[in-house]
A and B are shown apart, each in its own frame.
Chain A
């Protein structure tokens, strides 16, 4: 079945560094992918829509210069958290729709980001 893979699954780094998270669709092409953030015991909140070959669309309140999104191919979107700070520590999850109308979106297993 359709699978979305995220890498890395867990990353710990020092404050001020930049972290790149990859989201891959393994057996289907995705012109659109979505990035969510989930704080502990909370729901998933959409951060941005990643569009292959064009600029990402960010939700209100999400800093586009801090959360850089690149959708370079039909199977790969990356989220780079630039100059990460402890408040950026969260669970980041991507998703991709597997087909046309009525087809489900599949989610990656998430990346736990911890900034020290």
Chain B
């Protein structure tokens, strides 16, 4: 059973456009929702994270929107750049992030000039 569902699996966006990745979760015990960015041959790097007591969090060009009642959250990348081309994973954890991280399937983002 996939506890964190992520879509789309691949995404092509033009430079300057908005990249949107959506995720949904099942387990209501999750209370910490990070997004990770992974480049080929590297481990995932934390991009931004949110807790369910807020509906939106913005850091630079990256924004997480969170809908607790629908158990859905999404990542918006504004003004997408070719350097943003990577695989993005939504994830969920409990105990405020101290426990194991459950990953979505990943979205391969390609930003074309």
**Docked-complex contact B46 and A44, CB < 8 angstroms:** no
Question: Which of A6, A97, A103 has the largest count of B CB atoms less than 10 A from its CB?
Answer: A97
Binds B, one of A11-19, A68-76, A77-85, A105-113: A105-113
Chain A residue numbers with a CB within 8 Å of B108 are 41
**Docked-complex contact A105 and B93, CB < 8 angstroms:** yes
CA distance A93 to B42 in the complex (A): 9
Q: Is the interface on chain B under 10, 10 to 19, 20 to 34, or 35 or more residues?
A: 20 to 34
**Docked-complex contact A104 and B46, CB < 8 angstroms:** yes
* A105 CB contact (under 8 Å) in B41, B101, B105, B106: B101
* B103 CB contact (under 8 Å) in A43, A104, A108: A43
**Docked-complex contact B41 and A112, CB < 8 angstroms:** yes
Within 8 A of A (CB), among B64-99: 89, 93, 95-98
Give chain B's interface secondary structure class. Answer: mixed
Is B100 an interface residue, CB under 8 A from the partner? yes
- Interface size in chain A (residues, C-beta < 8 A): 26
**Docked-complex contact B97 and A104, CB < 8 angstroms:** yes
Question: Which of A93, A101, A106 has the largest count of B CB atoms less than 10 A from its CB?
Answer: A101
CA distance A17 to B100 in the complex (A): 29
**Docked-complex contact A101 and B46, CB < 8 angstroms:** no
Chain A residue numbers with a CB within 8 Å of B104 are 43
Min CB–CB distance B111 → chain A (angstroms): 19
CA distance A49 to B103 in the complex (A): 15
13 A-B residue pairs with CB within 8 Å:
A4-B43, A34-B100, A43-B89, A43-B105, A95-B101, A101-B98, A102-B51, A103-B96, A103-B97, A104-B46, A107-B43, A107-B44, A108-B43
